[in-house]
Amino acid sequence: MTTVSLRSLRKTYGTVVAVEGVDLEIAEGELIVLLGPSGCGKSTTLRMVAGLETTTSGQLMIGERDVTTLEPKDRDIAMVFQNYALYPHKTIRANMSFGLKMRGMSAADTAREVDRAAEMLDIAHLLDRKPAQLSGGQMQRVALGRALVRDPAIFLLDEPLSNLDAKLRARMREEIALLQRRIGKAMLYVTHDQTEAMTLADRIVIMRDGHVQQIGSPLEVYDRPANAFVAGFVGSPEMNLVPARIESGRIILDDGVATPAPGNAPTGPVLVGIRPEALVPSHQGMPFVVQGVEQLGSQTLFIGLLGPHRVRVLASRINDVAPGEAIHVAVEPEAVHLFDNASGARL
Amino acid sequence: MTRWMLPGFLTIGALATLVLIVGPAIYAISLSFFDRTSLTAEPVWVGFDNFANVLSSGAFWNALWNGFVYAGVAIVLQVVLGIGFALLLHQPFRGRALLRGVAFLPYLLPTVVAVLTFKWMIDGSLGIVTIKMADWGLPPIYWFETESAAMFSVIMVSVWLWTPFVTTTFLAGLQTIPVQLYEAARVDGAGPIRRFFHITLPSLRPILTVIILLRGVWMFNKFDVIWLTTGGGPLGATEHLPVLAYREAFRLFDIGTGAAIATLSFLVLMVIVTIYFWAFPMDDRK
């Protein structure tokens, strides 16, 4: 069942278009991640859903209600902000109670709801403290807790983990995924971190310059990126994108640097996308001059030249190749993505 | 920083404080124990007689009460109007930067200029306010000349002069409140009034605490506005402790009594400030 519908949602600031016609149906219990670089319109889209930004045109439905012009409080949403936005002078309990109090919930019911959420997030021991006395991770939990007590139709999270260090971010990511499955509510989650998107999302919405580039499950956008932008944005290390031409079933990257093309490849100039892990060091294949070696533990990342193009190769651990050495790399034709040279669209 | 810099600067600071603040204060307090008709006359030791005389005079208690009324009402008005104007000037609108500058102007005027302007405007026969009121068929009000109106008038002049300072300070404070707090409160369901009381006011509390303290001390000791407008009159209706002390010391040439009034004024202020610090500790942000 659809919980939230974004229908041709558009936002302009004067002549600047921030979001151009976003269409999205979010099902109950679904975790949608809005992914894109800074300024792509993902946060603006989220803020339009929240009601913190007016909508220039389009329609927003939550459940059966048209909420396009309603105040945030009347939309049945809860939001987690990037900087947590905890009220600094209130205790954690008061922070979490505030929304319920504003809605006229009785003191006893409020206390019960706050205790329940605090229990769920393991912050019951922090309830009497103030935000300044908490660590970043604890503040993040409280911010989640404040949203959780409200039991809304949809949770909106605006880059909630971007202020945490890498280790804590990974842990909180897992916790948010578990929490979301446990409560079974829809979530709209904004991030510029593709790892977060890949690991959390049921579906990812990739945006660029206010336009939706692709909507799909994490593996769909990874395996079949709709265009060169998505291909380059999703995946870490990012996909190698190099100009080439296709002639008689072969992809020609440069004189003497060629590899078999996939069966459906059109002849002519193309943009070739090969994921670093799809390039495999081998005895035959394309000549690759190693410029840099990054040991990641279980894997080794080589940076080097494939013809004139700088590319990355991610291989299982290799200890005995040093910068300056020339090796060969091969790629399966099915692992090659082809994009239109001009538009970047998938071929 | 060399190892001599810290003790060096401390010594300079301590010496300057001793010579410029502690010394004169002790001298002023010591004057209150002597009978002296001028600063050059031979002092005669009278112990606590000056204090006893002052405390038994109606003029002292009247001046103390007037001081509380003048400072109290002026602070309340300055703070309420200051926050109000700051909230207005915090809203986005065309010409905001210009208006912010204009709003600060009264604070830049020398008190004597502001007071003279007010006196012209409300002059009993030629003032523009008096003439306008006559045009509208209203009876004249003798703003500085009647007991009932004089206190109101000196408070208004003070509010006009120093509200801009409060406004500017609060405006600076408002700009430090993260917008996300207001957004979170909107999502939580708080309307504008609740947002003001739950976010704006608590966030401004540290500034509010300092402003009330500073303005309170300044208003309690403020001499020029009252002296230039009413001179403490009519019939002591606006006479507060600084004016009374000045009148005793330099008009009636009773330096000892003037010093005793100033000392008592200092003690009253010290007690109030101590209670204030106790009631509103400055480091309660946590």
Domains located in chain B, CATH noted:
54-279 (1.10.3720.10)
Is residue A321 within 8 Å of residue A327, measured between CB atoms?
A: yes
Nearest CA in chain A to B190: A102
Which residues, including other chains, have CB under 8 Å from residue A202's CB and lie 6 or more apart?
A30, A31, A32, A217
Q: Do B181 and A133 touch (CB under 8 A)?
A: no
Give the single-character DSSP code of B249. I
Q: Do A102 and B203 touch (CB under 8 A)?
A: no
Q: Do B178 and A83 touch (CB under 8 A)?
A: yes
Distance of alpha carbon A293 from alpha carbon A274, whole angstroms? 19
Over residues B238-281, the pLDDT tens digits come to: 999 999 899 888 888 888 888 899 999 999 999 999 999 999 88
Cα A264 to Cα A250, A286, A322, B98: the distances in Å are: 11, 21, 37, 66
Q: Do B194 and A102 touch (CB under 8 A)?
A: yes
Is residue A179 within 8 Å of residue A119, measured between CB atoms?
A: no
pLDDT of residue A29: 92
The answer to whether residue B282 scores a pLDDT higher than 60 is yes
Q: Do B203 and A98 touch (CB under 8 A)?
A: no
Contacts of B203 in chain A (CB under 8 A): 88-89
> In this complex, how many residue pairs, one in chain A and one in chain B, have their CB atoms less than 8 Å apart?
66
CA distance A47 to chain B (A): 10
Region class of B145: left (phi > 0), else alpha (psi between -120 and 50), else beta: alpha
pLDDT of residue A10: 95
Q: Do A82 and B180 touch (CB under 8 A)?
A: yes
Q: Which of B177, B179, B188, B194 to mutate to test the interface with A (most CBs of A within 10 A)?
A: B188
What is the layout of strands, in order, in the sheet containing A57-62?
A16-27, A2-13, A57-62, A65-66
Task: Match domain A240-340 to its CATH number in 3.40.50.300, 2.40.50.140, 2.40.30.10, 3.20.20.70.
Answer: 2.40.50.140
The answer to whether residue B232 scores a pLDDT higher than 90 is no
CA distance A21 to chain B (A): 24
Four-point Cα dihedral A244, A247, A251, A257, nearest 10: -80
Tokens of B256: 């000892």
Q: Do A88 and B285 touch (CB under 8 A)?
A: yes
Cα B270 to Cα A184, A309, B276: the distances in Å are: 61, 78, 10
CA distance B193 to chain A (A): 12
Average pLDDT of chain B to the nearest whole number: 89
Distance of alpha carbon A198 from alpha carbon A217, whole angstroms? 8
Contacts of B198 in chain A (CB under 8 A): 87, 90, 98
What is chain A's pLDDT, residue by residue, as a tens digit (347 residues)? Answer: 668 999 999 999 999 999 999 999 999 999 999 999 999 999 999 999 999 999 999 999 998 899 999 999 999 999 999 999 999 999 999 999 999 999 999 999 999 999 999 998 889 999 999 999 999 889 999 999 999 998 899 999 999 998 888 888 888 898 899 888 888 999 999 999 999 999 999 999 999 999 999 999 999 999 999 999 999 999 989 999 999 999 888 899 877 788 888 888 888 899 999 999 999 998 888 999 999 999 999 999 999 999 889 999 999 999 988 999 999 999 999 999 999 988 999 98
pLDDT of residue B286: 41
pLDDT of residue A281: 92
The model's confidence at residue B146, banded by pLDDT at 50, 70 and 90, is confident
Contacts of A52 in chain B (CB under 8 A): 183, 186-187
In this complex, the residue of A72, A87, A146 whose CB is nearest that of residue B181 is: A87
Instruction: Taking residues B203-214, report their average pLDDT.
Output: 92
pLDDT of residue B127: 85
pLDDT of residue B1: 66
Instruction: Taking residues B193-222, report their average pLDDT.
Output: 93
CA distance A101 to chain B (A): 9
**Homologous superfamily (CATH) for A2-233:** P-loop containing nucleotide triphosphate hydrolases (3.40.50.300)
pLDDT of residue A249: 87
Contacts of A83 in chain B (CB under 8 A): 178, 180
The residues on A that touch B, with CB distances below 8 Å, are: 50-52, 71-73, 77-79, 81-83, 85-90, 98-99, 102-103, 130, 132-133, 146
In this complex, the residue of B187, B190, B285 whose CB is nearest that of residue A132 is: B285
Over residues B78-133, the pLDDT tens digits come to: 999 999 999 999 998 999 889 888 888 888 889 899 889 888 888 877 888 888 98
Domain residue ranges of chain A, discontinuous segments joined by +: 2-233, 240-340
pLDDT of residue A317: 93
Q: Which of B182, B186, B187 to mutate to test the interface with A (most CBs of A within 10 A)?
A: B187
Over residues B57-67, the pLDDT tens digits come to: 888 999 999 99
User: Which residues are A227's β-sheet partners?
Assistant: A345
